[in-house]
Every structure is written in structure tokens, then in C-alpha cells.
Amino acid sequence: MKLSVIISVFESYEIVRRQLLHFKKMNLPFEVIIVDDGSNPPIEGATIRTNSKIRWNVGEARNMGAKIATGEYLFMTDIDHIISKEAIEDALKFNGNKMIFRRQIGVLDENGDVIQDPDVLKEWG
């Protein structure tokens, strides 16, 4: 495996569900590690869960994800960031140089599709 995407989450149940659908639709060879950082109840679909008494400890959660990752490269991000298929494709081609990703605004709908319609974006603030 060349790429492992690590995302730490805390009580973001619906967003995790949408992100997992989004990643599955990409049909690309990369690993997704969702680290539940103490949500109550636990997040369905999470790869692992921290046992820390400190809730929402992003550093610890990312380190736990890195320990079990099988990828040669790690791509760590936050649950509220949508990673595009193009970004994953670029990361899979990574050759050790600096990577720069284009920033766009969008939301994931209930099916895991990226929506960039201005009216929908206004609803999300």
C-alpha cells in the first residue's frame, strides 16, 4: 500500500458515514483509517478508538492511526475536510517533492457526493 489517509474524529457520526461513502466511490488503492477519539457512543465504521481520558486529542489519535497504517506515505487530515479524487490520485503519484493541493469549497451530501452548488453552500454557512 502506498498511501494511508488518517482522520481523527470526535462525535461526527453522519460526517464519517458520508466520508466513507465518498472514499468508497473513488475506487482507488489507498487505505482509510478513521480514529474515534472518545465519542460516546463509539463511531460506527471507525478503524480504531483511543482509550485516552482526554477527549478530542487529535495528536494522539493521529499517532495511533500512523502506528497501524500500512502505507508508505501518510495523508493526515480533519473530518471536515473533503479530499477530492484528484488529490488522492496526486498523492498516489507522490515522488517525494512538496505537494500543493488546490482548495475548493463544497459539502458531502447524504450519498457521499461533493456538492458545490452556491445555494447548498449558503445553507451550510
In the chain, where do the E strands start and end?
A: 3-9, 31-36, 48-49, 73-78, 107-108, 114-115
- What are the phi and psi torsion angles at 35 (to 5°)? -105, 115
Homologous superfamily assigned to 3-124: Spore Coat Polysaccharide Biosynthesis Protein SpsA; Chain A (3.90.550.10)
pLDDT range class, residue 97, cuts 50, 70, 90: confident
Q: Domains of the chain: which residue ranges? A: 3-124
Lowest-confidence region among 61-65, 76-80, 94-98: 94-98
Q: What is the model's pLDDT at position 122?
A: 84
CA-to-CA distance for 39 and 45, rounded, in angstroms?
A: 12
pLDDT range class, residue 66, cuts 50, 70, 90: very high
CA-to-CA distance for 43 and 45, rounded, in angstroms?
A: 6
